[in-house]
Amino acid sequence: MGPHSYDPGFSQTGVLWIVPVPLDSIQVNPAAGRASLHLSNITLNDSFTVDNSFSMAIPFATGVIDSLHVEWAGVTRRVEFSDPVNTFSGLFVQVAANAEVQVRTLPGGTGGSGFTFVSGPLATSSSSFAEVAHDQNGQFFPT
């Protein structure tokens, strides 16, 4: 998305870059190597650079994800892993991912006159690496 870094910032507990999304916006089937994410109207910060997004002291502009659509599919590799000593296991499926997004920075504040970014269509995007997985650890590790 160019020189802009759109993210939700820090939570009250200090966790960064996480925003709750409606459950019906996510579809995941690790066994089939498929997943999708559809979001709209998500308010975020536009911190302008990734470095700025790590600072809670720098003022941000208000950004909005007008639409985000990501599809994971096309299995190229499967790896099943289990480590009983460290109680970690999972099915990891390497796939391709395609995305299309439209985001904007609202006018005013530190955002100036506003900014809009629109990616190319979903079918024209590509990825170098993507993975759909189901893992279990700790108390959720299968016995």
69-107 tens-digit pLDDT: 999 999 999 999 999 999 999 999 999 999 999 988 888
Do residues 101 and 67 lie in contact, with contact meaning Cβ atoms separated by under 8 Å?
A: yes
**Higher local confidence (pLDDT), 72 or 49:** 72
Would the pTM of this model clear 0.85, i.e. be above it? no
Do residues 48 and 5 lie in contact, with contact meaning Cβ atoms separated by under 8 Å?
A: yes
Pick from 41, 37, 60: nearest CA to 49: 60
Question: What is d(CA 112, CA 115) in angstroms, rounded to the nearest whole number?
Answer: 8
Do residues 92 and 62 lie in contact, with contact meaning Cβ atoms separated by under 8 Å?
A: no
Q: What value does the mean pLDDT take over residues 5-13?
A: 64
**Model confidence over 61-79: pLDDT tens digits?**
778 889 999 999 999 999 9
Q: What percent of the chain is predicted at pLDDT more than 70?
A: 74
Helix (H, G, I), strand (E, B) or coil at 140: helix
Indicate whether 111 pLDDT > 60: no
